[in-house]
Chain A
Amino acid sequence: MKLMLKIWRQEGPGKKGALVAYPMDDVSPDMSFLELLDTLNEQLIGKGEVPVAFDHDCREGICGSCGFMISGEAHGPAKLTTTCQLFMRHFKDGDTIIAEPFRSRAFPIIKDLVVDRSSLDKIVQAGGFISARTGSSPDANAMLIPKNKADRAMDAAACIGCGACVAACPNGSAMLFTAAKISHLGLLPQGQPERHQRALRMVNKMDELGFGACSNHGECEAVCPKGITIDFIARMNRDYMRASTTETMEPVKRV
C-alpha cells in the first residue's frame, strides 16, 4: 500500500509545532501502526533527520503507554483497540492519515506525539487505593465476594490509563478514568471503609488539575480501548454526592 502520513512535529514543550507530510510506499497490511512509525523513523535516521517521538512499550494493548489521535480519533478508527494493536489493514491504499498528540489542557506536549500524563497518577495518589499495610491482611478467603460483584469490579479495573478518554472529551474531562478506579475499589467490600473519602479526594483532585467537567457526550466510552462504560461515571457521581452530604474531605495522612 501507499499512504500519506501527516505527523505533528514539535521539538519540545512550548515550542511551535506543525504537521509534516511523509509519503510512505510499501506499507504492509500486516504492520501495526507503530511498526509503520518504526519504518518511517529508520528512513528518517537514514536521511540524517530526527525521528518521530512516540510513547510505547508493551505493544500488546495493556500498558497504556501508546496512544495519539489518528485522523481525529483517539487510537484510530478500530473499536476497542489501542494504537499499538491497530494494524494497517484497517486503511486503504492511497489514504491520508493524520497523527497528532492527545490534546488536553492537563496533558502538556513533551515532543511530537508524546504528552505528559502524570496528572492521571496524581488523581490516583489523591485516593485511588486501599490503605492495607503489607502483612496485615486476613486469609484471602475470609472475605466472600459475590462473583458478579468481582466481575463488575474487574470490568472497571481493566482501565489501562492511556488517557484516550481525556483526549476524546470535548471538555477534556478525566471522569471515565477516575470513575473506573473509584468503581473498581468501591464495588469491593475491602474498598468500603475509604469509599467516601476516596470519592471526595479523587474527584476534587481531578478538578484541581484542570480536567474539565462531564456533559454526557459519551466520546470517552466510544474511544476506550478496554470498553469501560459510562455507567461507572453515574456510579461515581452517586458516590460523590453521598460522600459530600455525609463527610468532609480529610487529607491523606499517616496514623
Chain B
Amino acid sequence: MELNAKIPSGPLEKKWEKHQFDMKLVNPANKRKYKVIVVGSGLAGGAAAATLGQLGYEVNCFCYQDSARRAHSIAAQGGINAAKNYQNDNDSIFRLFYDTIKGGDFRSREANVYRLAEVSSAVIDQCVALGVPFGREYSGYLANRSFGGAQVSRTFYARGQTGQQLLLGAYSALSLQVALGQVKMFPRHEMLELVVTDGRARGIVVRNMVTGEVTSHTADAVVLATGGYGNTYYLSTNAKGCNATAIWRAHRKGALFANPCFTQIHPTCIPVAGEHQSKLTLMSESLRNDGRIWVPKKADDQRNPRDIPEGDRDYYLERKYPSYGNLAPRDISSRAAKQVCDEGRGVGPGGRGVYLDFVEAIGRLGESVIRERYGNLFEMYEQITGENPYKQPMRIYPAMHYVMGGLWVDYNLMSNVEGLYVIGEANFSDHGANRLGASALMQGLADGYFILPCTINDYLARISPANRLKTDDAAFKQAEQDVQQRTTRLLSAKGTRTVDSFHRELGDLMWNNCGMGRNEKGLKEALAKIPPLREEFWRNVRVPGSAGDFNQSLEKAGRVADFMELAELLVYDALQRDESCGAHFREEHQTPDGEAARDDERFSFVSAWEFKGVGQTPVLHKEPLVFESLHPTQRSYK
C-alpha cells in the first residue's frame, strides 16, 4: 500500500491557500443533494456538523450522550491556543508552528501543523462571534495566559471551563442547523460498524441505546470525530463513556491506525483513593508554579507529612532538575513521580502519590494570595479527597490523559479509505509524540470549522450522490448482522466476571507495562498477557439484560471488547518504536540526564498499521517525515 499524504507543493506558508484554490467545488445548488454523516458532537464533530449544515449539505450527526452538548470536550479546563500575538510578545504563525513541532518531538507533519497555526486565529474570531465569554481585560480586550512548552502568552480561556464554553458555542451553532432542518441529531446512538465497499466509506450501522434497535445510515461521506482512546487504560482523565469503538471498527474495515503508542500522561491528577476508583480528576498544571513536590527520603515512612522534618524530605524535581525544578515538563515530571513511588517512597493509599506542598508559598505570599490564585482548585481537591490543602500538602499522581495517536489521515484529513474523514482527537495528525497544553481544543475546532468543510468539497465534487448505496444493500445487511452477532455473543457468554473487572485488569496491565516508562521486557510481557485476557473476556464475561433494551452493561462490554484489541496494537507499536520520543519513553533509550533519546535515522516516520485480523500481526506502513522548514534537534527546555 502506498501512503500518500497529499501534501500540496509550494512553500510552506502558501500550501493551504494554494490547495484551497486547487480543490474542486460543489455548486451551491447541488450541495443539498449530498449527505454527510458526522459521528461525534464534540468540538471537532459539533463544529463540522454545524458548518457543513451551513454550507447546505444534508447532515446526520450521532453521539452516545443524551445531548450533543455533553461530549467530552466539555471537560477541558485550561484554554485554547492561537497565534494572535495580541500580547505583542513576538508570537506569530511560525512560532506556534515551531512550538508545536518541537513539543511533538519532531514526529508530526510540517504542512499540517503549519496550517493549524494559520487557521488558529480564525478559530478565536469564530468563537467570539458565537458568544463564547472568553476572559477579558478591564479595557474590554481579550486576555491571555501562558501555558507549558511556550514562551509567549497565546492561550485564550473562559475561567477554568474553556472546553465547556467552546463546546456550547459549537453546540449552539449546531442547534440552529437542527432547527433549520439541515442537521438531524441522533443522540444516544452508538456507531458500531462502518460500511465500506470498493474501498469507499458508504455509511454506518448504529444502535439506538434506548430501544436497542440496530439501523443503517448511508451517506456520501462519513466523518469520525469520536475522540481519543485513553480509556484503554481504564483509569484516565477521560469521561467514562469515551471509547475507541468507532475508530477501531473503521480500522478493522481497512483504515490505518497511526502511532497508537503516542499517549500522554498528565503529571498532576488526584491519586487513586481505593478499589472503587472509577476515573481520575485532573488538577491544573498551574499549581506547580507555587507548589513544591516532595516525598519522604526513606521508603515506607508512615509519618504525617507535617511531622516529617525538612532533612527527611526529598524535593526530587528540584534536586534532579535544578534549573526547571517543579516546573519540569509534563513527561519528565510524570516519570520522576513514578520512579520515587516504585522505590517505595510514594505517599497515601497504595503508595501511589507524591506531595504537592503549598506551605512555603503560603508562608511567603500569605494564604489570601494562594486562595485567589488557586481557590477553586483547592476546593475541588477538598471536595474529592476530604483533605484541606491549605493545611495538608496535596497528594497527586500522574494519570492517562490524552492520545496523540489515532486513525491515519492525509492532508485533507481523509483516511486511506476513500470518503472516510477523521477529525479531532480521533486522528493522529498534528501533535506528533507529545501534545502541548491548550492545543487539542485548537485542533478540534480548526478541523471542524475550517479544514474539513473545505477539503470535503473536493471529494464530494468527484462522486455522484446518485451512487449512494441504499440501506437495503447487502453490505449494510451484512454489517447489521455482524453487529447483532457480536451482541448475541456478548450476552450469551453468561460467564462469571463483570465487564468492569476485565477492563480494570486490562487497564492495570497497560498502565504498568506500557505507561510512563516502557521497556522491551515489559512490552513483551504485555503482548503475551493480552490475548489470553481477551480470550477469557469473550468466554467468561457476564453481561446481564437483553439486546432490545436500555442496557449500559452491554454498551460497556462492546467498548471493552474493542479496547482489548486496540491495546495489543498499542503495545506492539510501542515495542516496534525502539526509540524514545516525546511521551513515548523507552527506558533503553535515554540521554545521560534522563531525557528521551530520539533516533531520527531509524524512526523519523509515522507508523501506520494495517489490520490483519484479531491476534494476527499487523502490517506496518511508514510515512517518512520530511522536515523542510525546521531542523530536528534534541528537545530541550533547559
Contact = CB atoms under 8 A, between A and B. Distances in A.
Contact of B131 (A48, A146, A184): A184
Interface in B136-163: 136-142, 158-159, 161
B176 A131 contact: yes
Interface stretch (A56-64, A214-222, A231-239, A240-248): A56-64
B378 to A, nearest CB: 14
Interface stretch (A26-34, A92-100, A165-173): A26-34
B66 interface: yes
Interface residues on A, range: 35 or more
Interface in B113-155: 122, 124-131, 133-142
A126 B180 CA distance: 10
Nearest to A36: B276
Nearest to A30: B273
A46 B553 CA distance: 13
A64 B165 contact: no
Interface string B354-380: 000000000000000000000000000
B393 interface: no
Nearest to B349: A30
A47 B501 CA distance: 15
Nearest to A56: B240
Instruction: Give the 7 A-B CB pairs with smallest separation, nearest first.
Output: A144-B140, A137-B129, A129-B172, A132-B129, A154-B133, A30-B273, A140-B128
Contacts of B133: 150-151, 153-154, 157, 184, 188
B168 A146 contact: no
A45 to B, nearest CB: 5
A60 B552 CA distance: 20
Q: Which of A111, A136, A140 has the most CB atoms of chain B within a 10 A radius of its CB?
A: A140
A111 B51 CA distance: 35
Contacts of A140: 84, 124-125, 127-128, 134, 142
Given A158-B161, A184-B133, A64 B276 contact: no
Nearest to A37: B278
Given A35-B276, A63-B75, A190-B131, A161 B544 contact: no
Contact of A154 (B86, B158, B274): B158
B309 interface: no
Given A58-B74, A135-B122, A184-B131, A65 B281 contact: no
B475 to A, nearest CB: 32
Interface in A66-114: 81, 85, 87, 89, 110-111, 114
B356 to A, nearest CB: 18
Contacts of A58: 70, 72, 74-75, 239-240
B241 interface: yes
Give the dominant DSSP class at A's interface: loop
Contacts of B239: 57-59, 63
Contact of B125 (A87, A137, A185): A137
Given A49-B544, A128-B175, A57 B128 contact: no
Contacts of A138: 125, 129
B7 to A, nearest CB: 24
B323 to A, nearest CB: 34
Contacts of A253: 180
A137 B131 CA distance: 11
20 contacts: A35-B277, A39-B276, A44-B544, A50-B544, A50-B545, A51-B553, A58-B70, A65-B66, A117-B67, A118-B66, A120-B67, A121-B175, A129-B173, A134-B51, A134-B173, A135-B449, A145-B140, A146-B138, A147-B136, A150-B133
A144 B140 CA distance: 5
Given A50-B545, A63-B65, A134 B176 contact: no
A208 interface: no
Nearest to B279: A59
A57 B72 contact: yes
Nearest to A155: B133
